Amino acid sequence: MFIKVVGHGSRLAAAVSLLLLVSGLSEPTLAGDRLRLRYDLYISSMRAIEINQEIELAQGAYSSVMSVRSQGMAGLFMKIETDMKATGSIVNGMPVPASFKIAQKDRRATVNWDDPNRPEAVRDPALAPRKVDAVDAALAEPAVDPLTALLHQGFAGMDNVCSGAERVYNGREVTEYRFDRLDDERFDDNDASVYRGPVVRCRMVYRLIAGFSDRAMEKNRAEPVVITFWAAPVKTAAADKPLMLVVALSGKVDNRPFKGYLNAATISGRPLNPASLASR
């Protein structure tokens, strides 16, 4: 996913991308599960971005709708207005993408996975020929959309979360999310986020692969974006094992610290578990 951010580049885009790792709930239902989530991202203690998402998970399918907006004074420096939707099926316990749409103020893209090994995109405006060639070459390796890529980590379960890498395609750019597991911790009443319970602390390295400017690529190679995040195990009717939901994260944007929290989360009107809050 690419978020147009004035003066902050790929680091903030990586942070927002990570917040797409959302799936799971506390109590399974027979028909499937609907999650309503709100994340708030703070830069230097100032609330800068709000992310709202609704996810539907069933035993054989999933869909996700998300909006990302800059907030308050941060809107003077960062212009973020992004809407996304992904749909797909769940095959052998893992999400498989079918379609992805992203709309921003000045550009749009739609991707279809009719051929699972070769996604096809419609873009407005069109990419420069040089970028098209680079994107096509990068898609020689399998790629999924941003929402599905991070759901793969969620469906890995607590034992295998935060391992391996995902190649990600949003219709215009190709990126890579590489994950490492750090340690096990616990969130209680003294921690930010509405979630209470066990968590896994992880690291994600965000790399630009194709479709970006030469300057952005050079900067990312010299200083890869590294984000620490905390993922919580929760249950859903869509999987046999707990899914992993990001409940907090931290890093830096141009040497300024940022933090993000899950500040609202309900499943059919209920908190994630009896110890958690619905909002804060």
Q: CA nearest 275: which of 190, 198, 200, 195?
A: 195
Q: Is residue 47 part of a domain?
A: yes
Reply yes or no on whether the pLDDT at 7 is more than 90. no
- Helix extents (H) in the chain: 9-18, 129-138, 146-155, 214-222
Q: With bands split at pLDDT 50, 70 and 90, how would you rate the model's confidence at 117?
A: confident
User: pLDDT per residue over 43-62, tens digit each?
Assistant: 888 899 999 989 898 888 99
- 226: Cβ contacts below 8 Å, ≥ 6 apart: 203, 204, 205, 206, 251
Q: With bands split at pLDDT 50, 70 and 90, how would you rate the model's confidence at 270?
A: confident
Q: Is residue 272 part of a domain?
A: no
Residue 79 vs residue 271, higher pLDDT: 271
Rounded to an integer, what distance in angstroms lies between the CA atom of residue 19 and that of residue 30? Answer: 27
Q: Is residue 270 part of a domain?
A: no
pLDDT at 6: 38
Residue 124 vs residue 35, higher pLDDT: 124
> What is the average per-residue pLDDT within 259-275?
90
User: pLDDT per residue over 142-180, tens digit each?
Assistant: 999 999 988 899 889 899 999 999 999 999 999 999 999
Q: Which domain holds residue 198?
A: 9-265
Q: What's the length of the chain? A: 280
pLDDT at 242: 81
Q: Is residue 275 part of a domain?
A: no
Q: Is residue 244 part of a domain?
A: yes
Rounded to an integer, what distance in angstroms lies between the CA atom of residue 153 and that of residue 180? Answer: 11
Q: With bands split at pLDDT 50, 70 and 90, how would you rate the model's confidence at 73?
A: confident
Q: What is the mean pLDDT of the chain?
A: 87
Number of domains in the chain: 1
User: pLDDT per residue over 138-149, tens digit each?
Assistant: 999 999 999 998
Rounded to an integer, what distance in angstroms lies between the CA atom of residue 166 and that of residue 21? Answer: 13
User: pLDDT per residue over 203-247, tens digit each?
Assistant: 999 999 999 999 999 999 999 899 999 999 887 776 777 889 999
Give the end-to-end CA distance of the chain in Å, rounded to a whole number. 28
Helix (H, G, I), strand (E, B) or coil at 67: strand
Q: Is residue 274 part of a domain?
A: no
Contact 60, 35 (CB under 8 A): no
Rounded to an integer, what distance in angstroms lies between the CA atom of residue 243 and that of residue 90? Answer: 13
Max distance between CA atoms of the chain, in angstroms, equals 54
Q: Is residue 182 part of a domain?
A: yes
Reply yes or no on whether the pLDDT at 274 is more than 60. yes
pLDDT at 2: 33
Q: Is residue 62 part of a domain?
A: yes
User: pLDDT per residue over 191-215, tens digit each?
Assistant: 989 999 999 999 999 999 999 999 9
